[in-house]
Chains A and B, each alone.
Chain A
Amino acid sequence: EVQLVESGGGLVKPGGSLRLSCAASGFTFSTYSMNWVRQAPGKGLEWVSYISSTSTYIYYVDSVKGRFTISRDNAKNSLYLQMNSLRAEDTAVYYCARDAPVDLTGSPYYFDYWGQGTLVTVSS
């Protein structure tokens, strides 16, 4: 059974940092691209970042470029999101989502499995 379990969320002050983790199990993590998607309270979904299976291709939404860094450790079956210079508008539930195994072109496709999410609150 595919499982994605996020952790690392919490309350942080504006300008602070946080590192999210996503522990994957039930599939060969090293062969799948992964994504982070966020959802502000009561709002819709916003894609944040993508990383290919070997970390060759990495993309971000414009609003987090230069502040967030996605990474992965295939030996530990884990995905990460380092978030720096946090702002109030980064407050959201952050989901990790598995990219569908379509091909190896290094582009995100649709997301076939999602974690339960971890809440990040940026407030003074």
Chain B
Amino acid sequence: DIVMTQSPDSLAVSLGERATINCKSSQSVLYSSKNKNYLAWYQQKPGQPPKLLIYWASTRESGVPDRFSGSGSGTDFTLTISSLQAEDVAVYYCHQYYSRVTFGQGTRLEIK
């Protein structure tokens, strides 16, 4: 199974500042023949189901604010929130779908 490891486990950032969450996979999730990374990011607020933010590592889902961006390839990925807003407080998960499905353990994002 592919193991997904996120860092840090929790993060406190001031409003308007940049937040960066990392995700590392135990093996590459790049499907070379399609040149696509099988990696998604979700946001989960308390009491709510997860919400899709990013897929194919860097494609923003429709309706997601452009302050959210995804980057990386192979085994190392990053979710960046360029200017943190109060409504971004949540737990964020990465998800690989290269080989079945596994999620990272989650990163809790709070306001400093």
Contact = CB atoms under 8 A, between A and B. Distances in A.
B93 A44 contact: yes
Interface of A: 35, 37, 44-47, 50, 59, 61, 95, 100, 107-112, 114-117
7 contacts: A44-B103, A45-B103, A59-B100, A110-B40, A111-B50, A115-B49, A116-B48
B104 A44 contact: yes
Given A35-B101, A47-B101, A59-B100, A110 B52 contact: yes
Contacts of B42: 45, 111
A114 B40 CA distance: 14
Contact of A47 (B44, B103, B105): B103
Contacts of B50: 37, 45, 95, 111, 114
Nearest to B40: A110
Nearest to A50: B101
Contacts of B24: none
B97 A112 contact: no
A114 B61 contact: no
B67 interface: no
Question: Max chain B CB contacts within 10 Å: which of A44, A45, A115?
Answer: A45
Given A44-B105, A45-B50, A110 B100 contact: no
